[in-house]
Every structure is written in C-alpha cells, then in structure tokens.
Amino acid sequence: MATSQGSSISHGNYFTLFLLFSSFASTAVGYVYESAPFNRSSFPPGFLFGAASSAYQYEGAAFEGGRGPSIWDTYTHKSPEKIADGSNGDMANDFYNLYKDDVKLLKYIGLNAFRLSISWSRVLPHGKLSKGVNKEGIAFYNNVINELLANGITPFVTLFHWDLPQALEDEYTGFLSPLLIDDFRDFSELCFKEFGDRVKNWITFNEPFTFTNGGYDGEFLGNLAPGRCSSCPQGNSATEPYIAGHHLLLCHAAAVKLYKDKYQATQKGEIGITLVTHWFVPYSSNRLDVKAAQRALDFVFGWFIHPVVYGNYPRSMQTLVGNRLPKFTVEQSAMLKGSFDFLGLNYYTGNYAAHVLSRTGNISSTSDSMTHLTTDIKGVPIGNPTGVPIFYTYPQGLHNLLVYTKEKYNNPPIYITEAGMGDKNNDTMENTINDPQRIDFYTRHLHAVRKAIE
C-alpha cells in the first residue's frame, strides 16, 4: 500500500490479470510452456483483459465524503506492526480524487474491464440501512461507474472485499453473528438499486478463505482484520473461522437470491463469487501425500466452492472438523446450491502438500487439514521466486486449477479475477518499468489459460 501524489494505477495496487473465458470442454493434458508469440486473437471472442483492486487498498479519503470507519481502519491504526511497512489506507493511492486519471490510464494501456469494490462504510457509514445512506458515497461510485462506461471499460463490482463497517463489528462481532445476514442483504440491495442499471457483473465476496483464515485464525496467512485468533487478545482459531465462513456463505446466498428474485430480470446482469486458492502438488507419489494435496485443496478452495455448487461442505472437512463445523439447514443448503452465474478465481502460486501423521499445537482451521505445506523439496523451489516470499511462479497450477474446477464443479463460466506478482526489483523507476520478470509471469500464465481452454 503506497501513498501517491500522482495517478494511483502507477503505484501497482492493481492485480493486473483479469480475464474471462466461457465454459470449456477438455480433458486434463500436460502443461507445456509455449514460446510462440500470441495476442488477443489467440483467445475466444468476449475474452476480457483488465485490472482489479479493492476500496481500502486504493481509494484513500478515509475521512472524506461522509465515510464511516471499517475494521481495516481500526486494525491498521491499532496494530501498525501487523503491516509490513506500518502504512494504512488513510490516503492509499488516492483513487477517490484521481479516479478520472486512472480510468484514462486503464484505457490507454488497452484494458477493457475493471474490478472495483464498494466500501460498505462509505455508502452506509453505520453499517445499517436504517441508520442512513451517505449520498456523497453513492455519488462517488456513480461517478466512477459512469467514467468507466464512458471510456469503454466494463465495471465488475465486488460488494465485500474485507472492509466490514466497524459499527457492525462493535455491535455484534460482525461475521460471528447471524445478524449480519440481514444487514448484508440490505447493503447489497442498496447497491443493486443505485448501480444495477449500469453494473452487469456483481461479485458478492472476494476471497472468503483469506478473510476468514486471516481474520480469525492467522496461522496460514498471518493476521488480517479483525485480528482474532487463539493467540490474539480475542478469538478462537478452532471455531471462529468456520462460524465466520458459514455466515459469509449465508450472506452470499441471501444476496444472490435477492438479486435473482427482484433485479436480474430487469437489470439483466449476472452475479457470482470470487474464490482464491493455491494449487497443491503432492510432496511425493506416496498415497498419503496424494490424499494430503486433495485435503489441502478442500480446506482452501472446497470450503467455499463446494457449498455454492453442491450445497454442503467437502466430506474431508466434515470428517476432520466434526462438530466444530456448522451445519446448513435443508433450506439453506438448497439456497446455496447453484448460487452463482459465474465463478471468479484468484490464483498466485503453488505449494507442495505432505501428509501429517498427527496434529501438534493448537487446534485451528489451518491445522485441521492434516497437511504440511512447503514451497520446496530438498531446497529446490516449486518455481521462480517473486517479491512476495511465499509466492513462487507456478503457471501449471493455474492450468490445473481451471481444469479441476471444470471437471469437479460442473464447468462454470470463469473469470480470473486476480493473478499477478509482487516484483522484487522495483526499487527504482527504471527497474519498475523494465520488468522482464513480470512480462515472463504474465506470458506463462496466459499460455496456461489458453492451454486449459484448448
């Protein structure tokens, strides 16, 4: 997160690989990196290239325009040591004031889609519809959406990208309470009413796994807002990630049902959810490691895709988590099943997964999968290192994930809503511009996508 005196997109808080391909038919094939040149015509008609970000990462103007505080405002101010450079989103990239310049840059570099998120506390400062709508916040997003459309850029709008209004966290501990479902439905309906005549692509949640694991466990990804875990001042890593995730899924189902029942026929848009996962490779050919890789995938990806496709959690989660895993009622399961028009996928890297013979330490959502994750085997990394220590370039994982999703989860339409890398050589402007590592990253991942389509 960087402060900026110029256009925000130049500072890199955009995950610049945003793609669409429709349902595809193929069987899994070995991934081979192709060196032959290719361009947009190499992909199907209707394929989109774009950029994506989120409100707290790039908007700034935290105390402007009637915006209320979110849990990320609280977290970064109370625990600056949890942020690598101690920064916060008070100013961020100042998209709030520079959005017109950024849209020009999006158009200049040839992108035709942009994924943004709505700051819940910018439109509902107290979190609740009954406590008042902030007209300045509504006007801001109307202006951004209109500017995008005027420049031929399709908006994709995420309703929740981790920035819960602090008022709801204070009132009933946010996602740990089922009371959130009604408030999220109200917030979603406000957005559908105000923006749905122009927004045709809605995403309910971004990366529920990252939000629930990072916010309520923290072992896998490190603590994120609201900063709860067994070793934190408050929290329980054995139960709270599952409770928060359960309520999040019910919020998603409620928003989708509302949109489909009340708005989709007239607004003619689509609604989905964005999920994230690494690809998990067995540490060895041993049967136990092969099963461990599948469990790792179930506990990251399956945790949220299985309910929205099949109406329940993966069998491995039900078995290993037991009574700590909440259960859906028959009605909830039916509402969840098939609750999306498209699936967003975020992908960054791969891991090796090895079987763990017995659990050690605290019980948590991270340890429940009974797997040990690593990025290397005997010192040999899974791919080329990037500027993010835990992320290695592994394009084959993207190919495998796309084919796996097609075959296991009924061939959904897919948007790759994030895929990118942190550049380790961005200390000077010259190195930022001359970035062969990033060029190689995108080239190889685009080839992986095309191979999956084929």
Q: Mean pLDDT over residues 13-20, rounded?
A: 46
pLDDT(44) > 80: yes
pLDDT digits (tens, 9 = 90+) for 237-283: 999 999 999 999 999 999 999 999 999 999 999 999 999 999 999 99
String of DSSP letters for 193-250: HHHTTT--EEEEEE-HHHHHHHHHT-TTT---TT---TTSSS--TTTHHHHHHHHHHH
Contacts of 341 (CB under 8 A, 6+ apart): 270, 271, 272, 413
d(CA 406, CA 417): 16
Q: Does residue 107 carry a pLDDT above 50?
A: yes
Cβ–Cβ contacts within 10 Å for residue 85, how many? 8
Average pLDDT of the residues in 193-204: 98
Residue 45: predicted pLDDT: 87
pTM for this structure?
A: 0.93
Q: Any catalytic annotation for residue 418?
A: yes
Residue 28: pLDDT band by 50, 70, 90 thresholds?
very low
Tell me the one-letter amino acid at 106.
L
pLDDT for residue 7 is more than 80: no
CA 8 to chain centroid: 20
Lowest mean pLDDT among 38-47, 64-73, 205-214: 38-47
Least confident of 209-223, 236-250, 374-388: 209-223
For residue 380, report the phi and psi dihedrals to the nearest 5 degrees.
Answer: -95, 115
Produce one character per residue of 311-336: b if its CB has 16 or more CB atoms within 10 Å, e if not: bbbbebbeebbeebbbebeeebeebb
Catalytic residue among 59, 169, 207, 219: 207
Write the pLDDT tens digit of every residue in 118-165.
999 999 999 999 999 999 999 999 999 999 999 999 999 999 999 999
Give me the pLDDT at residue 29, please: 30
Q: Confidence band (pLDDT; 50, 70, 90) for 36?
A: low
> Looking at the predicted structure, is the pLDDT value of residue 27 above 70?
no
Contact call for residues 52 and 18 (beta carbons, < 8 A): yes
- Tell me, yes or no, if 34 is annotated catalytic: no
- Tens digits of residue pLDDT in 348-370: 999 999 999 988 778 999 999 99
> Higher-confidence residue: 433 or 414?
414
402-429 tens-digit pLDDT: 999 999 999 999 999 999 998 877 778 8
Whether 12 shows a pLDDT value over 50: the answer reads: no
Residue 434, exposed/middle/buried by CB under 10 A (0-12, 13-18, 19+)? Answer: exposed
Q: Is 110 exposed, middle or buried (0-12, 13-18, 19+ CB in 10 A)?
A: exposed
SS3 of residue 254 by DSSP: helix
pLDDT of the residue at 425: 74
Give the pLDDT of residue 19: 55
Residue 55: which of 1, 17, 18 has the closest Cα?
Answer: 1
Q: What is the percent of the chain with per-residue pLDDT over 90, rounded to a whole number?
A: 82
